[in-house]
A and B are shown apart, each in its own frame.
Chain A
Amino acid sequence: MSHRLATGGRLIDRSRTMEFSFNGKALSGFAGDTLAAALLGAGQTLVGRSFKYHRPRGIVASGAEEPNALVGMGEGQRFEPNQRTTTTELFSGLKAISQNHWPSLDFDIGAINAKLWRFFPAGFYYKMFIHPRPFWKWVYEPIVRQSAGLGKAPHPETRDADRYEQIYAFCDVLVAGGGIAGLTAARAAADAGQKVILVEQNAHWGGRAVVDGAEVDGQPADAWVDATLAHLNGLANVTVLNRTMVSGVYDHGYALAYQRVADHQPGADMPRHRLWRIRAGEIVNAAGAIERPLSFAGNDLPGVMLAAAVRDYVVNWGVTPGRRVVVVTNNDDAYRTALALHAAGVTVAAVVDARKEATGDLPARVRAAGIRVAEDTAIRHVEGGKAVTGVALCRFESDGGAVSETIACDAVAMSGGWSPVVHLWSHCGGKLTWDDARAMFRPDPNRPPLNQDGQGFVRCVGAANGDLDDADEAPMQPVWMMPAQAGYLLRAKMWLDPQNDVKVSDVQLAAKEGYESVEHTKRYTTLGMATDQGKLSNINGLAILSDALGQPIPQTGTTTFRPPYTPISLGVIAGEARGEIFQPLRKTPMHDWHESHGVHWEPVGHWRRPYCYPRNGESHAHAVSREITQVRKSVGLLDASTLGKLVVKGPDAGRFVDMLYTNIMSTLPVGKCRYGLMCNENGFLSDDGVVARLSEDTWLCHTTSGGADRIHAWMEDWLQCEWWDWKVHVVNLTEQFAQIAVVGPDARKVLEKLGGMDVSRENFAFMDWREGKLGGFDARAFRISFSGELSYEIAVPASQGQAFWNRLMEAGAEFGMMPYGTEALHVMRAEKGFIMIGDETDGTVIPQDLGLNWAISKKKTDFLGKRGMEREAMVSPDRWKLVGLETLDGSVLGDGALAPLPGKNDNGQSLTQGRVTSTYFSPTLGKGIAMGLVHRGPDRMGEVIEFQTETGGRVAARIVDPCFYDKAGDKQNV
């Protein structure tokens, strides 16, 4: 049955019909409808099932506070669960499905839970699933996982078809809420010349005043709103945003606002949502107030709705929840609903008022309209199954034992008074005060959230500030339960939180079981959890808890208000960061060449480095073997551009590098290179690399690929914060150069073909560097080797890196030149027993553990890490130290494999005597090789110890020297 009224609806355009579907059923609404209004208009009052009992649920509210009417929206790449129908603007072709039911909304198996309600009390999960213990993993958890949650998440492989973005904005005043109070505050700030951002979560402005036909400054509210908006829109210092919700207020005036740019026009070539990251001098909370439900038995049936929401549906969209409505209230405001319904031609069967008497102006007008007002009366219970069929009344001050009468009706409009929306005040620490007369928490102006200057930066105005008094209205009377002394059976049917199925009886049970803290009670009962975060339920739940604990409400306090105010999309949190630009991808100058030559990438920090270059479908292992064999036999190329290149220059640069490195760098002659280690103040190895002395006062420090930025920052830290009188400059030139390693016995021949620089053994010795032309390119070449082969690392300007690489490939063609990747690099350095930061080191390893004592100066009185290395534990002979490991059967040890010992430590863990730090199959040696840290390792050469295998077995390995290949260094010294 349609609930659309023949006339009325200030927001809809009846000439524009919009088709949509709900659970596959074709329905229609009008332009300007919300989905909730359109569903009601189409007579679809049953919209979902509740979380625990699978009770039938209808629309309760008309805005962001809606707990029930959540649907899955869209399809495929645009499917989204838990969308609030009350804030979804209708568009043609909208597809919605209801949630939490099986097999269908009308016939739901889970509804059996409702019959078993006695077995699902508060804390059901905690009580039920605790014993027997093994049942949790194998029985309970799978069942809970299957049945938990409201909507269904999209399939993990689904990609969101829409785009999202963020924007940073700055203002003097951010006004949250476009009702009269917000518009007034915005206008005052704007006219005073302040920079203002005014946001309203809905598409429409004016808040309640325009619905209730109020007057502002002697004008009808809607005219005043239009004029004020026009004024603000005309000012250059004002940004006006509708469909935008301030979702959270954070430190120092930071706020997030969630703009739903294109939700109402899906598929438009626009960002769907935009997250405004606003820094405001002041935030004005003008978010209004939310009406409270009343707790009476059966208050969760479809057709029981908030009174003001009923008014919204009638006035804004020309729909009514029923044709014969009972209004139930504890205040005068709900009488406006009776009048609005009456004016729209809907029968109001009665206004049920809990107060002893209703004598104000509004009740008088209702009576004058011929509507019956029942004072000192409560709804004892609502009758009906999937829809309201009537209400049974009783005296308010009673236990509900006696039904005074039954009234047939198809909808109930309830009002328990109003709660200021204090979230934006409270998110960042604003405190609340209890207003006894109005029975509400309101912002305490003496305890605002504080900004960087220690000043309050949020101000609440209008209803959000608790300014709810209307001259025409008589005082409300707090009603937390109806009837006042309701018995258990009634209390067990009074819903506090319809989304989570928490009832008055559940909170009372929690109190009886000893729950005193409101935060604990929330989590135990699930009151106020999930998508609505208790916008309707919290205050009623607090009141019930306080009553059960026999203490005043302010003593119980509220749960913490946390952002976001209502859920925001994950897409908007990601913003532009998805796909190719999910995170910065650092590319070397030869990146595209690698890409087009079949590279398999290895992420190194944000860099992508070639791992290997498989050819013709060969496996990675084969490719790595091929690359190593080529380098050891002839020549290969490595893109080493990612190596950090920090230039340290100044009169005190020598002194500085001597502090940074464990060995002496100040004595390095110009033109020479030296390998060095850097430690932190603990003495633990932090980075390594080759240092080249460029000139009398200039050193070039190479760092690991991942270490460039970190070590640069480390250097600046010491220079700025400790040795600020030292004259040293550091410039990070990592990306200025493409650095290419030409490696292998034929490397010199390749460079000689390029011509220019003298690369002869006599004039360019191992650990020298030279500057000059190579093949016409400006080049700086370093004769250093990480592979044990004849090797030149050549730096050219990055913009010429690709051209130089091409030139080397051409020149090397006759030698079978091929690029090699990081895995070949790793295997070759392991064959040589060279350590790798991050493999042999883990932040607890000192150089001495790695047999690098030769690189630690004994002469220097100080260097970073020296004091740390002197500690007792660091000089103990019992440390795990680096050794080579060779399995007896030639197999490859597992990466990180432990060498167990019999016995357990104090924590009951197996004792160990070592672990593998690097392990590879060496194609050069035709067997597995490894390095590892072993207890007193170097003292145990030749000993065989066992390591764990991944399958739980053991494999025997002999402790050997870590250098497996060309220990004398003949190959690199040619």
Chain B
Amino acid sequence: MSDAVSALAGVRASGMVDLADAGLQGMITLRGDLSSATLAEAVRSATGADVPARRRVATGSTGQALWMSPDELLLIVPYAQVGATVAALETALADEFAMAANVSDARAMVAITGAQARDVLAKLCPVDFSDFAVGELRRTRAAQVAAAIWREGEDDWRLVCFRSVAGYVWGALATVAQPGGEVGLYR
């Protein structure tokens, strides 16, 4: 819908890194048996991606599949397609013990880009980012709230949090990414 607005409403900021609201994303929580071939096929038709390995992000032609827990994926598809994708998943998984739920509006996504992205994230998250590969994902704590973080590219990171605390997470990121806060921990 044209009057849909993301929680962060397109905000951007620059400092040690560039921060940007990644905008409305189609996001689907998919619970089920991740080893099921039926589920794998459903994920592939939804995103073009395979079921990701533990704590990995699989990227396909039409979306991404993120490993969230042993029986849970987060699928990312274009926002406009999320309704149809959930419906297709429900059909495909009708005989499985599985559940697909549209959570697009329950989340906010921030893009963190720049060479110092890890230093900024390390100021909020108790995570060792030194051997954190592109395509790796980690659910953790960003300051005081839950977040999922993954490395989209060498200097390109994504953070997903709950919609209601998007402003808080944004504020925390923007605060610790202010110029002058350079640390040089990750080089």
Q: Mark A residues whose CB is within 8 Å of B.
A: 163, 165-170, 195, 236, 239, 268-271, 274, 277, 279, 576-577, 580-581, 583-589, 606-607, 647, 649-651, 727, 729, 731, 733-737, 776-777, 797-800, 802-803
- Contact string against A for B residues 15-53, beta-carbon threshold 8 Å, 1 for contact and 0 otherwise: 000000000100001011000000000000000000000
Tell which of A269, A731, A803 touches B101, judged by Cβ atoms closer than 8 Å: A731
- For A576, the chain B residues whose CB sits under 8 A away are 123-124, 143, 172, 175-176
29 sampled A-B residue pairs with Cβ under 8 A: A165-B123, A167-B185, A168-B127, A170-B128, A170-B130, A239-B185, A269-B178, A269-B179, A279-B128, A576-B124, A576-B143, A581-B168, A583-B144, A584-B143, A584-B145, A585-B167, A586-B164, A587-B164, A649-B99, A735-B164, A736-B101, A736-B105, A776-B1, A777-B1, A797-B1, A797-B104, A798-B163, A799-B4, A799-B5
Tell me whether chain A's interface is mostly helix, strand or loop, or mixed: mixed
Would you call A236 and B171 a contact (CB within 8 A)? Answer: no
Task: Report the nearest A residue to B24, measured CB to CB.
Answer: A799
Would you call B5 and A802 a contact (CB within 8 A)? Answer: yes
User: Interface residue count for B (Cβ, 8 Å)?
Assistant: 51
- For B176, the chain A residues whose CB sits under 8 A away are 165, 576
- B87 interface residue, CB < 8 Å from A? no
Tell which of A269, A577, A737 touches B143, judged by Cβ atoms closer than 8 Å: A577
Complex Cα distance A798/B165, Å?
13
Task: Report the nearest B residue to A695, measured CB to CB.
Answer: B90
Complex Cα distance A279/B130, Å?
13
- B126 interface residue, CB < 8 Å from A? yes
Would you call A165 and B105 a contact (CB within 8 A)? Answer: no
Would you call A800 and B101 a contact (CB within 8 A)? Answer: no
Chain A nearest CB from B169 CB (Å) reads 8
Task: Report the nearest B residue to A580, measured CB to CB.
Answer: B171
Would you call A195 and B130 a contact (CB within 8 A)? Answer: yes
- For B7, the chain A residues whose CB sits under 8 A away are 587, 589, 798-799
Complex Cα distance A580/B173, Å?
12
- For A777, the chain B residues whose CB sits under 8 A away are 1
Tell which of A577, A729, A800 touches B31, judged by Cβ atoms closer than 8 Å: A729
- For A165, the chain B residues whose CB sits under 8 A away are 123, 175-176, 181
Would you call B163 and A731 a contact (CB within 8 A)? Answer: no
Would you call B105 and A650 a contact (CB within 8 A)? Answer: no
A-B contact count, CB below 8 Å? 135
Complex Cα distance A798/B4, Å?
8
Chain B nearest CB from A794 CB (Å) reads 15
Would you call A167 and B97 a contact (CB within 8 A)? Answer: no
Task: Report the nearest A residue to B98, measured CB to CB.
Answer: A729
Would you call A581 and B175 a contact (CB within 8 A)? Answer: yes
Knowing A576-B143, A735-B164 touch, does A799 contact B123 (C-beta < 8 A)?
no
Complex Cα distance A277/B162, Å?
25
Instruction: Rank and list the top 3 A-B pairs by shortest CB-CB distance, nearest first.
Output: A803-B3, A586-B164, A798-B105
- For B3, the chain A residues whose CB sits under 8 A away are 800, 803
Complex Cα distance A827/B185, Å?
55
Would you call B164 and A271 a contact (CB within 8 A)? Answer: no
- B103 interface residue, CB < 8 Å from A? yes
Knowing A586-B165, A733-B103, A737-B105 touch, does A651 contact B97 (C-beta < 8 A)?
yes
- B133 interface residue, CB < 8 Å from A? no
Q: Mark B residues whose CB is within 8 Å of A.
A: 1, 3-7, 24, 29, 31-32, 97-99, 101-107, 119, 122-128, 130, 143-145, 162-168, 171-172, 175-176, 178-181, 183-185, 187
Complex Cα distance A236/B127, Å?
19
Tell which of A269, A584, A803 touches B168, judged by Cβ atoms closer than 8 Å: A584
Chain B nearest CB from A267 CB (Å) reads 11
- For B99, the chain A residues whose CB sits under 8 A away are 647, 649-650, 729, 731
Complex Cα distance A583/B119, Å?
22
Chain A nearest CB from B96 CB (Å) reads 10
Would you call A168 and B126 a contact (CB within 8 A)? Answer: yes
Complex Cα distance A274/B171, Å?
18
Would you call B123 and A731 a contact (CB within 8 A)? Answer: no
Tell which of B97, B162, B171 touches A650, judged by Cβ atoms closer than 8 Å: B97
Complex Cα distance A168/B128, Å?
8
Task: Report the nearest A residue to B4, measured CB to CB.
Answer: A799
Would you call A585 and B183 a contact (CB within 8 A)? Answer: no
Would you call B4 and A647 a contact (CB within 8 A)? Answer: no
Would you call A799 and B180 a contact (CB within 8 A)? Answer: no
Would you call A734 and B106 a contact (CB within 8 A)? Answer: yes
Chain A nearest CB from B33 CB (Å) reads 10
Complex Cα distance A736/B130, Å?
34
Task: Report the nearest A residue to B6, measured CB to CB.
Answer: A799
- For A733, the chain B residues whose CB sits under 8 A away are 101, 103, 106
Chain A nearest CB from B172 CB (Å) reads 5
Would you call B1 and A800 a contact (CB within 8 A)? Answer: yes
Chain B nearest CB from A771 CB (Å) reads 12
Complex Cα distance A268/B180, Å?
8
Would you call B171 and A581 a contact (CB within 8 A)? Answer: yes
Would you call B31 and A581 a contact (CB within 8 A)? Answer: no
Chain A nearest CB from B10 CB (Å) reads 12
Query: Which has the most chain B C-beta neighbours within 10 Å: A270, A586, A727, A777?
Result: A586
Complex Cα distance A647/B86, Å?
15
Chain B nearest CB from A858 CB (Å) reads 32
Chain A nearest CB from B152 CB (Å) reads 21
Complex Cα distance A588/B126, Å?
28
Chain A nearest CB from B11 CB (Å) reads 13
- For A588, the chain B residues whose CB sits under 8 A away are 164
- For A737, the chain B residues whose CB sits under 8 A away are 105
Complex Cα distance A527/B181, Å?
40
Task: Report the nearest A residue to B169, measured CB to CB.
Answer: A584
Chain A nearest CB from B97 CB (Å) reads 5
Complex Cα distance A236/B185, Å?
10
Task: Report the nearest B residue to A807, measured CB to CB.
Answer: B3
| Given A168-B128, A581-B175, A606-B165, 12 extra CB contacts under 8 A | A168-B122, A170-B128, A270-B181, A277-B126, A576-B123, A576-B124, A576-B143, A581-B168, A587-B167, A607-B164, A729-B99, A736-B102
Complex Cα distance A625/B122, Å?
50
Complex Cα distance A822/B63, Å?
41
- For B122, the chain A residues whose CB sits under 8 A away are 167-169
Complex Cα distance A586/B119, Å?
26
Knowing A586-B165, A588-B164 touch, does A168 contact B125 (C-beta < 8 A)?
yes
Would you call A584 and B144 a contact (CB within 8 A)? Answer: yes
- For A166, the chain B residues whose CB sits under 8 A away are 123
